Amino acid sequence: MTAIGLFQILLFIAILIIITPFLGSYIAKVFQRERTFLDPVMRPVERLIYRLASVDEQREMGWREYTVSAIAIGVLGAVILYVVLRIQGILPLNPQGRGSLSPDLAFNTAISFVTHTNWQAYAGENLAYLTQMMGLTAQNFIAAGTAMGVAAALIRGFARKTAETVGNFWVDMTRSILWVLLPLALVFAIFLVSQGVIQNLSPYVTVKTLEGTSQSIAMGPVASQEAIKILGTNGGGFFNANAAHPFENPTPLTNFLQAIAMLAIPAALTYAFGKMVGNARQGWALFAAMMILLTVGVITVFAAEQGGNPLLTRVGVDQAATSRQGGGNMEGKEVRFGPFGSALYANATTAAAVGSVNSSHDSFTPIGGSVLMFNMMLSEVVFGGVGAGLFTMLIFAVVAVFIAGLMVGRTPEYIGKKIEAKEMKMAMLVVLIFPATILILTALAVMTGAGKAGIFNPGPHGFSEILYGVTSAAANNGSAFGGLKANSQFYNVLLGISMMIGRFAIIVPVLAIAGSLASKKAVPESAGTFPTTRPLFVGLLIGVVIIVGALTFFPALALGPFVEQLLMKAGITF
């Protein structure tokens, strides 16, 4: 590991710690409908939206109605986006004359963007500008706003006492978009343009290269989509090369700040949680658990990639770090980012369920690639997606206090609420649905001819590619190893199902817990209450997250990246 790499890790952590309380306090005000500096601009727009949509902003919902509303916006969005993708060829703002997507690819893409996944089985350049803006960018805002709304409802479940409602979904989603996502995306888009990210509606430009041949340079409204895809933890790329493309991620500065932006809102939501339940230390405890998991992941991947690939050394590739080169495993990486910039970005994108990539995860060392996979296998809790990371980590916190309660022989409590049978049943659904989806669908892919037909690399790496793809879909991440032919009827349907389960099957039990907790009385702390703001709880929470992930996925990882690591050390290739 290099000194500059370690310095950047510390700087990265410090920046996140600094911005978390400021942005978190602001988000808490937005959810609690307190006055903010944006009210004079946003309140008239908000009222107009409610008037047009016939929404009564004063009426609150029970958890069942809230759930139906959250799912309904997803279903409606999927239908609209599917239609747009199918008729893209006749729509305006299509200077390159892009044709319509096939039914199975349109299905996969529509599900992908409404579930916050942004899995791309297509090349980004194959979409028209109108599709990118009206279809994908719009869903990036709506999907992120939906997840933030669900998180707000769960927070109210802990904060309220003997209440029958958890908020109004339409209000929560609208305020998340208008007060948080839209202004941040606008500022970040302007910054990206200043660094060289393009924003136009021009046709592609044909130029002559130094060799005398012609090259087509893609154009388009990139900065506006890039900003919300990063800040909303959506992912996807305007170009097929994604964030490795210089028009999406031109400099080391944009690379570093994009990694910060991926985690900014998920991190701030932990502080917003603490503010809304009346104890900021509760939020910092969740933040600490997430940050420890992230830091360990970044250091592990950085060390693995900086250490290089012995197979490349054997064929004469110089991987030593010198004053003239960063060294390490540069296969599949951009020279302007190197092992550290790639490791940081890859960890941020898999930890925060963004899915944007600035390097080929398929070319990482087995240990580096397995950490990226494991980030997603931990159920999207290492900060996780906007909203989704918080509410999933809170489910693990419920499980952790239940285990602590068993240890001391008393009914577990968390944030003043007793955790009883109903909450534990719903929590276990959240914990079990995710790994069951991944393992069952992965098994289906490796047992069928259509699934195996998509493997370009035989042996354990081919299995790793399938396992990564299904995990990414279920975790609503969207990144890929890249060595899998995913654009087939089999994988378009299989991964579409995985994305739907990973999104909607998790939301239902989460909101059921929110409704159950909101209806309960507050339980005063006593000598027997397990403290949930101290290092002991942070350690227990990390242990529960890792053990659940390790015990569930260790056999699958042993068949893929762990075998690959042993083969790499032995100098064996497939």
One pLDDT digit (tens) per residue for the chain, 574 residues: 677 878 889 999 999 999 999 999 999 999 999 999 999 999 999 999 999 999 999 999 999 999 999 999 999 999 999 999 999 999 898 888 889 999 999 999 999 999 989 898 888 888 999 999 988 999 999 999 999 999 999 999 999 999 999 999 999 999 999 999 999 999 999 999 999 999 999 999 999 988 889 988 989 999 999 999 999 998 888 998 899 999 999 999 999 999 999 999 999 999 999 999 999 999 999 999 999 999 999 999 999 998 888 877 777 787 777 767 778 888 888 888 888 899 999 999 999 989 899 999 998 999 999 999 999 999 888 999 999 999 999 999 999 999 988 887 777 889 999 999 999 999 999 999 999 999 999 999 999 999 999 888 888 889 999 999 999 999 999 998 878 888 999 999 999 999 999 999 999 999 999 999 999 998 887 777 788 999 999 999 999 999 887 788 999 999 999 998 888 887 776 5
Pair 196, 189: CB distance under 8 Å: no
Residue 336 lies in a domain: no
pLDDT of residue 494: 95
C-beta contacts of 564-567 below 8 A and 24+ residues apart? 564/366, 564/460, 564/461, 564/464, 565/365, 565/366, 565/367, 565/370, 567/460
Q: Domain of 202?
A: 20-278
The number of distinct structural domains making up the chain is 1
Residue 174 lies in a domain: yes
pLDDT of residue 353: 87
Residue 557 lies in a domain: no
Residue 1 lies in a domain: no
Residue 429 lies in a domain: no
User: Burial of 4 by CB count in 10 Å (0-12 exposed, 13-18 middle, 19+ buried)?
Assistant: exposed
Pair 100, 87: CB distance under 8 Å: yes
Distance CA(149)–CA(175), nearest Å, equals 9
**Residue 237 phi, psi (nearest 5):** -135, 140
The β-bridge partners of 221 are 199
Full-model pTM: 0.94
Residue 71 lies in a domain: yes
Q: Which 8-state DSSP code applies to residue 181?
A: I
Angle between helices 460-474 and 366-377 (to 10 degrees): 30
**Alpha carbon distance, N-terminus to C-terminus of the chain:** 29
Residue 121 lies in a domain: yes
54: left (phi over 0), alpha (psi -120 to 50) or beta: left
Distance CA(553)–CA(173), nearest Å, equals 34
Structure tokens at 25: 């306090």
- Buried b / exposed e along 256-274 (16+ C-beta atoms within 10 A): bbbbbbbbbbbbbbbbbbb
The number of beta carbons lying within 10 Å of the beta carbon of residue 336 is: 14
Element spanning 413, H or E: strand 413-414
Amino acid at 512: A
Residue 28 lies in a domain: yes
**Residue 365 phi, psi (nearest 5):** -60, 155
Q: Which 8-state DSSP code applies to residue 560?
A: T
